[in-house]
Amino acid sequence: MRLKDKVCLITGSGSGIGQSTALLFAREGALVIVNDLDEEKGRETVKQIAEDGGEAIFLKADVTSPEEVKAMVAQGIAKWGRIDVLFNNAGISGVGALHEVEPENWDKVMSINIKGVYLPSKYVLSHMMERKEGSIINMSSCIAEIGLARRASYAATKGAVLALTKSMQVDYAPYNIRVNALLPGTILTPFVENYLRTSYDDPEAAIASLKTRQLSGELGRPEDVAKAALFLASDESKFMMGSPLYIDGGVVFG
Ligand code: NAD
């Protein structure tokens, strides 16, 4: 078991990649703190982990609210005494070329995707610094490195998360805290299905077109990213610091 008794907080783990990671971490022995804004979805993840024989609790919090995030971190530490791993996974999509993005939508994407990494990190870090131990995984995207049409606000946030990851790594390496980033390509989750449904007249044709951009010829599954998150969370990646890890079927070369 690669995460035996490690306490792992995963934001946005009521769905998609976060949910798949929560299930995998629990199977690897982790005590999982499932966070989501959506209580029903978060509790469903906890239920699935319990049915699988694992241990998890649900803590509802909006990752953009300092009060809620602070309370969530305190509750997690009160329950299990520590937080060993933080996976900043919660995020939303943003669609449109820059001139098409309305200011309120721009602010929302910035807030959830960037402030939503800053706040959980801020409150977990002071605790990890005291213990001189921890692994933080930030969810970026391959869009931080390649241009994709009509994704201006989303691309800006994921580039920022990658830069933030490197900056954090330099600041917290002296505390034995590793900070790495995941850069997935297109992974079939509710997030992507919703984006395809609302952005294309023919979502199936859009999926076929996306596949042609992959060296793999296939789109990814949440489990593909969960396995990479497991690697970054565990000591197996102890020589990785501030690294971008691609899980993209080769899309950056497509
Ligand atoms: P998803 O929509 O399936 O899951 C995201 C979860 O985050 C949802 O359960 C949602 O309720 C939660 N959430 C949203 N706002 C929140 C908030 N303010 N506070 C707490 N929880 C909140 O999405 P997914 O595809 O699993 O994506 C997860 C992460 O992976 C996102 O950061 C996304 O940008 C990133 N990502 C996804 C893909 C992809 O192709 N699916 C590719 C690259 C990166």
pLDDT in tens, 8-30: 999 999 999 999 999 999 999 99
Which amino acid does the sequence have at 5?
D
Average pLDDT along the chain: 96
Measured CA to CA, the distance from residue 211 to residue 205 in angstroms comes to 10
Question: Tokens 């870090």 — which residue?
Answer: 125
Question: From the CB of 247, is ligand 1 less than 6 Å away?
Answer: no
Measured CA to CA, the distance from residue 25 to residue 10 in angstroms comes to 10
Instruction: Tell me what percent of the chain is helix, strand and coil, each rounded to the nearest 5.
Output: 55, 15, 30
Q: Give yes or no for a contact between 189 and 15, defined as CB atoms under 8 angstroms apart.
A: yes
Lowest mean pLDDT segment, chosen from 24-28, 34-38, 188-192: 188-192
The Cα angle at residue 65 between residues 60 and 68, in degrees rounded to 5: 40
Domains of the chain and CATH, by start: 7-247 (3.40.50.720)
The residues facing 7 across adjacent strands are 31
Nearest to 182 by CA among 113, 107, 108, 89: 89
Measured CA to CA, the distance from residue 188 to residue 222 in angstroms comes to 7
Of 92, 109, 148, 157, the residue with max ligand 1 atoms within 8 A of its CB, to mutate for a pocket test, comes to 92
Q: Give yes or no for a contact between 76 and 128, defined as CB atoms under 8 angstroms apart.
A: no
Q: Is pLDDT at 237 greater than 80 in this prediction?
A: yes
Distances 80 to 8, 120, 223 between C-alpha atoms, Å: 10, 17, 26
- Closest atom, ligand 1, to C-alpha of 90: 7
Distance 11 CA to ligand 1 centre (A): 9
Q: Is pLDDT at 254 greater than 70 in this prediction?
A: no
Query: For residue range 109-150, what is the model confidence (pLDDT) as tens digits?
Result: 999 999 999 999 999 999 999 999 999 999 999 999 999 899
Q: What is the DSSP letter of 136?
A: E
SS3 78: helix
Please tell me the pTM assigned to this model: 0.98
Look up residue 124 and give its two tokens. 């977990």
